[in-house]
Amino acid sequence: MIRTRFAPSPTGFLHIGGARTALFAWAFARHHGGQFILRVEDTDVARSTPEAVQGILDGMNWLGLKPDEGPYYQMQRMPRYKEVIAQMLAAGTAYRCYTTPEELERMREAQRAAGLKPRYDGTWRPEPGKTLPTPPTGAQPVVRFRNPVDGIVAWDDLVKGRIEIANAELDDLVIARADGTPTYNFCVVVDDWEMKITHVIRGDDHVNNTPRQINILDALGAQVPIYAHLSMILGDDGQKLSKRHGAVSVMQYDDAGYLPEAVLNYLARLGWSHGDDEVFTMEQFCAWFDLGHITPSAAQFNTEKLNWLNAHYLKQTDNERLAMLVRPRLEARGVTVGATPALDAIIGLYKERVSNLNELADAAEIFYIDLHPQADVLAQHLTPEALPALADFIAGVREVAWEAPAIGALIKACIGRHGLKMPKLAMPLRVLLTGQAQTPSVDAVIALFPREMVLKRLTAASPK
């Protein structure tokens, strides 16, 4: 049984890089009919917040990355970590160390001065035949992992290839602080072990932790999972993705009017490929996804491509669902969405022309608010030669069949009678009805409105 996990630290909102990690871990589990586990790594109490936890859950939910198990919270697992530490102390794979922080600092200074790499000197590390110093009374020790001193620790990373580290490079890691709380790497190890994680898919900022984690897993007699470390995501400008680049939290993409399926499709292609396929469903992605086609080099964000995908998905999405997504955006702007024109009809006409839900809301808004076209725009289009044709059209509106083709025919008849070219009448109509010079086909726009509303808008602003 394949078991993957996503293990965010709730110190900020779900970042777009974290979302990609979650997506890959989720898809790998789906591909193999396995399980995807969500684990909130909230042991850094100073930096973890309930808002960030909620932000992560919201982001996962918005993307539809549903865990099969969890969320587990590390803070709720403290007793278990302490139990494992006690077992390791008993087994001799961990030991109490009474070296004080001041002593450690002095030790490091001396090592640095001698041109050596600063490291713990092993004073309290038990060795066969070695007599340990007597513990100072009343002092609270930390617990250190007894890291092997010889040999190497190695793993075949599914993205980065084989990685080997000499154990001599690794210190005896502190696994419990003097107050008894377990440290970060230790909790990860216990959880990956007990949650029976088979594949650890995570950001490559954790490559450095992996050799230590493997050594501890070995000491526990645990099965070492397979690791796949994903390269980081760079911004459009090739720099490390950060707040400077605008939206970095997943929910900001929601605010900005992206559809989750567009973001998912986009993220799936960030560092992974399936031939030349650019547009695919999550079902296809899960069917295709493997860890063998992940690029080890950093992936670069491309906002233009995301926008293109979003426009694509907007076109594909039915009007009713889009209306459900656009309506709260309009309401948030204080716009009351009336029964006429029907929001889904407006959306049907505009969805081909926009690249996000906010633009769709912009387009829909003008149908529901009192419109005050700008005087200069009116002056530009309500020319003396256009006015008689406009009056003619207004007269015709009262009788014409209320559907786009008949309205189109009326427009043509009016321009014919007044010897005008199409834009001479179409532009004033657009501007008076929508406040905008650019709209979809004007007859289709007019047909969206109730007849009375058209009469009202055409007569309100046009000079008498």
Closest of 36, 33, 52 to residue 44, by C-alpha? 52
Helix-then-strand count for the chain, H and E: 19, 12
The residue behind tokens 């992992």 is 145
Quick one: which of 3, 4, 8, 390 contacts ligand GLU (CB under 6 A)?
8
Nearest approach in angstroms of CB 15 to ligand GLU is: 9
Q: What is the residue-wise DSSP string for 266-329?
A: HHHTSSB--TT--S--HHHHHHH--GGGB-SSPEE--HHHHHHHHHHHHHHS-HHHHHHHHHHH
Within 10 A of 271 (CB to CB), how many other CB atoms are there? 21
Binding region for ligand GLU (CB under 6 A) out of 3-11, 116-124, 293-301, 387-395: 3-11
Strands (DSSP E) found in 313-374:
none
Nearest approach in angstroms of CB 282 to ligand GLU is: 22
C-alpha 304, offset from chain centre: 17
Binding region for ligand GLU (CB under 6 A) out of 7-15, 55-63, 127-135, 349-357: 7-15
Cβ distance to ligand GLU smaller for residue 144 or 202: 202
Q: How many residues bind ligand GLU (CB under 6 A)?
A: 7
How far is 72 from 401, CA to CA, in rounded Å? Answer: 62
Binding region for ligand GLU (CB under 6 A) out of 1-9, 45-53, 348-356, 448-456: 1-9
Cβ distance to ligand GLU smaller for residue 165 or 259: 165
Nearest approach in angstroms of CB 74 to ligand GLU is: 9
Nearest approach in angstroms of CB 215 to ligand GLU is: 15
Let me know: does 151 contact 105? Beta carbons within 8 Å: no
How far is 270 from 252, CA to CA, in rounded Å? Answer: 18
Cβ distance to ligand GLU smaller for residue 188 or 386: 188
Helix axes 404-418, 386-397, angle to 10 degrees: 140
Structure tokens at 377: 């725009």
Nearest approach in angstroms of CB 196 to ligand GLU is: 15
Cβ distance to ligand GLU smaller for residue 185 or 434: 185
Number of residues that make up the chain: 464
Quick one: which of 3, 7, 187, 435 contacts ligand GLU (CB under 6 A)?
7
Nearest approach in angstroms of CB 276 to ligand GLU is: 31
Site string for ligand GLU, 202-231 (x = CB under 6 A): x---x-------------------------
The CA-atom distances, in angstroms, between 131 and each of 47, 77, 99, 135, 146 are 41, 35, 16, 12, 16
Q: Which of residues 33-72 bind ligand GLU (CB under 6 A)?
A: 41
Under the binding rule (CB under 6 A), the answer on residue 188 touching ligand GLU is yes
Cβ distance to ligand GLU smaller for residue 9 or 302: 9
Sign of CA dihedral 354, 355, 357, 359: negative
Nearest approach in angstroms of CB 8 to ligand GLU is: 5
Nearest approach in angstroms of CB 225 to ligand GLU is: 10
How far is 461 from 157, CA to CA, in rounded Å? Answer: 69
Binding region for ligand GLU (CB under 6 A) out of 6-14, 108-116, 121-129, 346-354: 6-14
Binding region for ligand GLU (CB under 6 A) out of 2-10, 134-142, 291-299, 451-459: 2-10
Cβ distance to ligand GLU smaller for residue 202 or 457: 202
Nearest approach in angstroms of CB 37 to ligand GLU is: 11
Structure tokens at 419: 């010897």
Cβ distance to ligand GLU smaller for residue 82 or 206: 206
3-state secondary structure of 200: strand
Cβ distance to ligand GLU smaller for residue 9 or 436: 9
Let me know: does 287 contact 36? Beta carbons within 8 Å: no
Cβ distance to ligand GLU smaller for residue 68 or 278: 68
The residue behind tokens 């003097």 is 178
- Cβ-Cβ contacts under 8 Å for 345 (sequence gap 6 or more): 319, 448
- Give the CB-nearest residue to ligand GLU: 202
Q: Which of 66, 130, 160, 243 is catalytic?
A: 243
130 is catalytic: no
What one-letter code names the amino acid at 86?
A: A
Binding region for ligand GLU (CB under 6 A) out of 5-13, 26-34, 263-271, 423-431: 5-13
Q: Give per-residue burial for 125-143: e unless 16+ CB within 10 Å, then b.
A: beeeeeeeeeeeeeeebbb
By the criterion CB under 6 A, which residues form the site for ligand GLU? 7-9, 41, 188, 202, 206
Question: So which residues are the catalytic ones?
Answer: 243
